[in-house]
Amino acid sequence: MRLGTDPAQGLGTPSGTYHAPRMGVTLVLKSHTSPAGKAVVTSWLTRNHVRYTATRFSVAASASSARIERLLDVTLADYGHGKRSVYAATSAPVLPVQVASRLIGVLGLNDAPAVTTNVGVVPPTSISKSTSTRAATGSVSPSGAPVACSAASNYATYTESEPVGNTVRTMNTIGNYYGAGTLIGSGHDGTGKTVAVIEFSASTPSDVSAYDSCFGITDNYSVQQIDGGPTNGTPLEPDLDIEMIQTQAPGAKVISYEAPNTSTGNYDAVQAAVDNPAVSVISISWGQCESVYQSVANMMEPLYQQAAQQGQSIFVASGDYGSEGCYGYSTSNANQLAVEFPGSSPAVTAVGGVDTLSSGQNVVWNACGTSSVECSPSITSGNPGAFTGPGYGGASTGGVSSYESQPSWQVPVTGTYSGRAVPDISANANGNVIYYEGVWGDVYGTSAAAPLAAGLAADVEGSCASPTIAEKAAFTPAANQYGTLGNIAPSLYAAYRLNPATAALYDVTSGNNDFTRSVPG
């Protein structure tokens, strides 16, 4: 029985054959698979002399590439992809019917980049390195909230005064718009909580340490490498996520789950975070166009549902390509209305982007909305010289999913649509000051909004009673009755439905998120 689609789709022509003394594939089980059904899969692997490790929703198999080819009736080939070579099976795997009927799909037959980060950076230009990297020690305000040292605050002040007119603020200032300072000052700083960040590039401990020193924050983060850790990428995304969460929840622990940017790495990193009983909040600032990633999304969904059932909260950046969420991923539907996964999963809280003005008013974050031409593609590839409007490029992805049906808890707040509406909430996505690669810089994107929300969630959870160690280890229902928020989106919609005029929840109705100006209205 053939399972799934061609893993090499879109990679072009093979450049050669692929050989490896050992490689891994993950057989993702259907969520309702019984122990007997799982035994059918593992027995098949044993008969074929393939090592495996079984978890709740998957069976990870390991063997030589030649044995994997025979096992799954595929041919593995090398493909040129960007600046590096990747491997992929030239056709979908073929498995015995009794095995395939128990599976959603197979991961590991393609190591092409699986997801992209939803963040952009504006490196310092006019500011001298000696000024921007001054190792000043920060302080903690009388209320207990972090306060920026002069190096960070001066960077924000200088950058905002430049002719391009971008709004740039330190992340503690931004957090205070959402009540972080008040929470921390009341003793609700995330103490006793653990926040996980899912990353596909490696964080830089020296960057985080310098940032923490500036803000008077205790350096309380650790790294867990998954599948050998990331193989490429810059520390921009993980540094941002860790620094943002530590600013909004300085008492919380942060674990950075750092994996290769492959579908298998994505699955294994999320699974590791979800399976850790200490983790109550997860932040994900990476995504992929729904139509491109749908086969993998089907395999990831049980993990997000498991997290929700266990009382874990997952906050996902909605994306930075506006209403045309596939713009940066797919040429076939680049200018069509679309959203990203995993933000479209009903088991997570999707976080969009707004531009929080000094008045406290929020407008939709859309750096392309003030330009008379399409937002330049060179901006989205990291070229700050192609500036076209406030925010240096990008817009908050949002719209209606083409694959996930609208959950009952969104009706009638978002109107009646056939699909799940994205995002659920939004936070500032413009002008966040971070410490990155030894200098101060400012970043934009929904990648900054998701960890901000995750930090606030840790503060709120820290004000609740905590389950016992035994309850946490067992993920018992008793543990979910207190101490964690779980999938918070349904509760937020319910709260808004009961009291639409509440000061804590309101619609952002100013602006638009049309990224390419090709989808009127």
Is the Cα torsion angle 17, 18, 19, 25 positive or negative in sign?
negative
The whole-angstrom separation of Cα 263 and Cα 200 is 11
DSSP codes, 69-95: HHHHT--EEEEEETTEEEEEESS--B-
Pair 105, 299: CB distance under 8 Å: yes
Q: Which amino acid is at 120?
A: G
**Predicted pLDDT at 378:** 40
**Predicted pLDDT at 358:** 67
pLDDT beyond 60 at 142: no
DSSP symbol at 335: T
**Predicted pLDDT at 463:** 74
Q: Tell me what the mean pLDDT of segment 57-73 comes to.
A: 94
Pair 407, 145: CB distance under 8 Å: no
Q: Cβ–Cβ contacts within 10 Å for residue 250, how many?
A: 26
Least confident stretch, 39-53, 143-157, 263-277:
143-157
pLDDT beyond 60 at 193: yes
pLDDT beyond 70 at 139: no
Q: Which amino acid is at 466?
A: S
CA distances from 40 to 45, 102, 515 (A): 9, 9, 48
The whole-angstrom separation of Cα 350 and Cα 167 is 24
Q: Which amino acid is at 493?
A: Y
For the record, the structure tokens of 211 come out as 């940032």
Q: Cβ–Cβ contacts within 10 Å for residue 470, how many?
A: 11
DSSP symbol at 286: E
**Predicted pLDDT at 64:** 95
**Predicted pLDDT at 499:** 78
Pair 255, 194: CB distance under 8 Å: yes
Q: What pLDDT, in 10s, does the model give residues 101-125? A: 999 999 999 888 777 776 665 544 4
**Predicted pLDDT at 137:** 45
Query: Residue written as tokens 């200098």?
Result: 439
Beta strands in 293-398 (DSSP E): 313-317, 340-341, 349-356, 362-364
Confidence of residue 82 (pLDDT cuts 50, 70, 90): low
For the record, the structure tokens of 69 come out as 């080819």
What percent of the chain is modeled with pLDDT above 90?
50
The whole-angstrom separation of Cα 221 and Cα 394 is 30
The structure's pTM equals 0.87
117-126, 180-189, 366-375, range with greatest mean pLDDT: 180-189
For the record, the structure tokens of 435 come out as 């410490």
Higher pLDDT, 391 or 321: 321
The whole-angstrom separation of Cα 198 and Cα 108 is 18
Q: Cβ–Cβ contacts within 10 Å for residue 412, how many?
A: 8
Helix (H) or strand (E) holding 23: strand 23-29
For the record, the structure tokens of 410 come out as 């969104």
**Predicted pLDDT at 496:** 85
**Predicted pLDDT at 124:** 44
DSSP symbol at 507: -
Q: pLDDT averaged over the chain?
A: 83
Confidence of residue 70 (pLDDT cuts 50, 70, 90): very high
Q: What pLDDT, in 10s, does the model give residues 194-218? A: 999 999 999 999 999 999 999 999 9
b/e burial code for range 380-403 (CB count within 10 A of at least 16 → b): beeebeebbbbbbbbbbbbbbbbb
pLDDT beyond 80 at 501: no
Least confident stretch, 39-48, 157-166, 461-470:
157-166
Most distant pair of Cα atoms in the chain: their distance: 69
pLDDT beyond 70 at 230: yes
For the record, the structure tokens of 425 come out as 């909430």
**Predicted pLDDT at 163:** 41
Confidence of residue 383 (pLDDT cuts 50, 70, 90): very low
**Predicted pLDDT at 43:** 96
For the record, the structure tokens of 4 come out as 């799934």
pLDDT beyond 80 at 466: no
DSSP-based three-state secondary structure for 349: strand
Q: What pLDDT, in 10s, does the model give residues 26-41? A: 999 998 899 999 999 9
**Predicted pLDDT at 467:** 58
Higher pLDDT, 6 or 93: 93
Pair 489, 472: CB distance under 8 Å: no
The whole-angstrom separation of Cα 227 and Cα 279 is 20
Q: What pLDDT, in 10s, does the model give residues 289-338? A: 898 888 888 999 999 999 998 989 999 999 998 898 888 776 677 778 99
**Predicted pLDDT at 394:** 82
84-98, 215-229, 392-406, range with greatest mean pLDDT: 215-229
**Predicted pLDDT at 51:** 95
Higher pLDDT, 345 or 476: 345
Least confident stretch, 233-242, 325-334, 348-357, 453-462:
325-334
Pair 282, 315: CB distance under 8 Å: yes
Higher pLDDT, 43 or 503: 43
Pair 203, 224: CB distance under 8 Å: no
Confidence of residue 472 (pLDDT cuts 50, 70, 90): low
Asked if the peptide bond before residue 451 counts as cis, ω within 30 degrees of 0, the response is no
**Predicted pLDDT at 520:** 64
**Predicted pLDDT at 128:** 33
